[in-house]
Amino acid sequence: MVERDPAVGGWLEVVVAYPSFWVMRYYRFSNWLWKRGLRVPARWLMQMARWGTGIEIHPGATIGERFFIDHGMGVVIGEMAEIGDDVTLYHGVTLGGVSPSVDSEQQRNVKRHPTLGNGVIVGSGAQILGPIVVGDHARVGANAVVTRDVDARTTMVGIPAKPVQLSRAEQGAIDQFVAYGTPLDLDDPSAVEGDMLRDQVALLKARLSALEDAVNAANERAQAPSPLSAEPHDLAEKQPGK
């Protein structure tokens, strides 16, 4: 936690001012109760934690070591969510399910929520929905909506989320921590696709213009009179002394 937030002044500040510290203490105990069949006390304990921290974690979720929620308010982690080690979430993140509520009885104990690998970073407001897998050291940018599997060491942005092309230097440093999961100089994948389409259209226009010029030149040559096609009396008129 101290290593991932430059605003931290020390462990005493973490204890008194960071909701992530306290909600994880509540979660560890409530998860212990949940695994032993004491589900109502576990849910009640996490409800108390939600009122105190603004973070909602289902006691049935599986969370690894060194998990950190920065700021925290509005984070929701569903029952079947699985989170690896060294994962960072920011405020407003949802790890939710998308199964229809009208058939909830048949969905009990069924995997409905996402799985996050080790070292994943999820930016503020991002929604990761359904029983998908986000690979190790992947990054999900702020406000992205992810509904499909994400490969390891991939950065996703946008709605719906799409992978973005990183520079060689950025790809080499993908295992390093990046706040909010998004490099500041990251290009919008939609804008990149738009630029590529515009370049292709410009190239096609240039080729079409060259083709039109060639056709026009050929037509002009075909319409020009040839000396071999002239009438005999025309040729006689052109001879001197006749």
Q: Which residue, of 187, 210, 230, is where some domain finishes?
A: 187
Q: Which residue, of 187, 204, 226, is where some domain finishes?
A: 187
Read off the tokens for 93. Answer: 């993140």
- CB–CB of 130/98 below 8 Å? yes
Q: In this predicted model, what pLDDT tens digit does every residue of 129-166 receive, in sequence order?
A: 999 999 999 999 999 999 999 999 999 998 898 888 76
Read off the tokens for 82. Answer: 């699985």
Q: What is the CA radius of gyration of the chain?
A: 32
Rounded to 5°, the CA angle 26-121-69 comes to: 25
Residues 89, 49, single domain; the answer is yes
- Residue 5 within any structural domain of the chain: no
Residues 94, 208, single domain; the answer is no
pLDDT, position 200: 85
Residues 199, 169, single domain; the answer is no
Confidence of residue 4 (pLDDT cuts 50, 70, 90): low
pTM, entire model: 0.69
DSSP, res 211: H
pLDDT, position 163: 87
- CB–CB of 167/150 below 8 Å? no
Q: In this predicted model, what pLDDT tens digit does every residue of 173-231 receive, in sequence order?
A: 555 666 666 665 566 666 666 777 888 888 888 888 888 888 888 887 777 666 555 55
Residues 143, 204, single domain; the answer is no
Number of structural domains the chain divides into: 2
In 3D, which of 57, 99, 102 has the Cα closest to residue 81?
57
Rounded alpha-carbon distances, angstroms, from residue 116 to 120, 130, 183: 7, 12, 20
Rounded alpha-carbon distances, angstroms, from residue 85 to 62, 71, 82, 192, 230: 11, 19, 10, 33, 91
Residues 70, 43, single domain; the answer is yes
Read off the tokens for 19. Answer: 């909701």
Is the preceding peptide bond at 160 cis, omega within 30 degrees of 0? Answer: yes
Residues 42, 122, single domain; the answer is yes
Read off the tokens for 168. Answer: 């060689």
- Residue 1 within any structural domain of the chain: no
Backbone angles phi, psi at 163, to 5 degrees: -70, 145
In 3D, which of 99, 82, 101, 89 has the Cα closest to residue 127?
89
Q: In this predicted model, what pLDDT tens digit does every residue of 59-118 receive, in sequence order?
A: 999 999 999 999 889 999 999 999 999 999 999 999 998 766 566 677 777 888 999 999
Residues 183, 151, single domain; the answer is yes
- Domain range for 26 is 11-187
Query: Alpha-carbon torsion 6, 116, 91, 148, what sign?
Result: positive
- Residue 4 within any structural domain of the chain: no
pLDDT at position 169 over 80: no
Residues 122, 166, single domain; the answer is yes
- Residue 179 within any structural domain of the chain: yes
